[in-house]
Amino acid sequence: MLRLNMEVFYPYPPQQVWQVLTNRQALAAWLMENDFEPRLGHKFQFQHSTLPGLEGNIDCEVIELEEPKRLAFTWCDRMMCEFSIVTWILKPVDGGTKLHLEHKGLSQKAIKLNEPMHLSQTWHGQFMHESKAAMQTLVPNNRGSAFSSTPIGRYETLDSVIFSSFLNGGWNHRLNEKLPQILVSINSIANERF
């Protein structure tokens, strides 16, 4: 199982941090374009566009929602065999909010056979390989029976590039660099109203 756990402190109340996690425009500003709605069972997509030539939609569904404490959704990009789960937990602390992120999924190096992949030729060569496994069949011959090996021309996915990029620094960058900028903007707008 692959798992990432992060905890970040923001000097803002939980309701403001919650807004950045659940408002479609704020979410797009620090994470990705989306059609998210904070509604249990809502199916939505993130449009991941940082990798040229790779179809980057991430299919999601809200599976837990407890405002402003907890949000969880499934996450499955086109190269994943199984979905992963993203869970946000907000905890009020002195001076602000602790935001805990857990992104967990089964190993994405599972075999995915005979399914069409939507990769450009460049990406296809980098993330797929032809299986050289042999299929053995029993073939009668003049001395009884013998096994004959025939190569199987199947393909196996090697890994989900998008999922791996988020586990290997993508979430860290977004939570420590981009999300704080959006919190500052929202706080400035809120202060101007009063």
Q: What is the full per-residue pLDDT of the chain (194 aa) written as tens digits?
A: 789 999 999 999 999 999 999 999 999 999 999 999 999 999 999 998 766 666 679 999 999 999 999 999 999 987 787 899 999 999 999 999 999 999 998 654 443 333 444 444 433 333 333 333 333 333 444 445 444 444 444 443 446 788 888 989 999 999 999 999 999 988 777 666 54
Contact yes or no for 44/24 (Cβ under 8 A): no
What residue segments make up the domains of the chain, in order of their start?
2-109+159-193, 121-156
pTM of the complete model: 0.71
> How would CATH label the architecture of 2-109+159-193?
2-Layer Sandwich (3.30)
